[in-house]
């Protein structure tokens, strides 16, 4: 399973875009990039996932570089409720095995 590297913490002003980077330089061709977030005292919550193309849903956008070695999760207009730990995970297409790292602690500031 490919490993991911994320900054331990980030701050973002409320209303601004939050851009959370993730490095996954050892990713292989059939591995997906998933993003989850965990708000204090709750279980992790799915945000978005992608393989090669950029993806957007009602929560966020996912930008994957052409070489697939890194990705960025974008929260377009961060709110205080987006304060959480964000996890970037690489998952093989056949294993459905999710290995969480230490994530990025995002703090949205008023």
Partner 1 sequence: EAGVAQSPRYKIIEKRQSVAFWCNPISGHATLYWYQQILGQGPKLLIQFQNNGVVDDSQLPKDRFSAERLKGVDSTLKIQPAKLEDSAVYLCASSLEGTGNTGELFFGEGSRLTVL
Considering the complex, state which of residue 94 and residue 110 has its C-beta at the smaller distance from partner 1.
Answer: 94
The Cα 85–Cα 11 span in angstroms is 12
Residues 86, 106 contacting (CB under 8 angstroms): yes
In order of 19, 40, 49, 69, 71, the CA distances from 63 in angstroms are 10, 26, 10, 11, 5
Q: Which of 70, 73, 91, 106 binds partner 1 (CB under 8 A)?
A: 91
With binding defined as CB under 8 A, does residue 55 bind partner 1?
Answer: no
What is the closest distance, in whole angstroms, from the C-beta atom of residue 4 to partner 1 in the complex?
10
Report the alpha-carbon distance of residue 59 to residue 68 in Å, rounded.
22
Out of 46, 69, 79, 109, which residue is the one contacting partner 1 (CB under 8 A)?
46
Candidate list 2, 19, 23, 49; residue touching partner 1; CB under 8 A:
49
Distant-in-sequence, close-in-space partners of 96: CB < 8 Å, separation ≥ 6: none
Contacting partner 1 (CB under 8 A), which of 22, 27, 36, 37? 36
Residue 86 sits in the site that holds partner 1 (CB under 8 A) = no
Q: Footprint of partner 1 on this chain (CB under 8 A)?
A: 32, 34, 36, 42-46, 49, 85, 87, 91, 95-103
């Amino acid at each position: 399973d490919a490993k991911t590297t994320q900054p331990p913490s980030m701050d973002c002003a409320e209303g601004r875009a939050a851009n959370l980077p993730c490095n996954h330089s050892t990713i292989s061709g059939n591995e997906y990039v998933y993003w989850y977030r965990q708000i204090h005292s709750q279980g992790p919550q799915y945000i978005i996932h992608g393989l090669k193309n950029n993806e957007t849903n009602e929560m966020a956008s996912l930008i994957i570089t052409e070489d697939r070695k890194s990705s960025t999760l974008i929260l377009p207009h961060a709110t205080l409720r987006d304060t959480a730990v964000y996890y970037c995970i690489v998952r093989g297409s056949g294993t459905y095995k999710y290995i969480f790292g230490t994530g990025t602690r995002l703090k949205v500031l008023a």
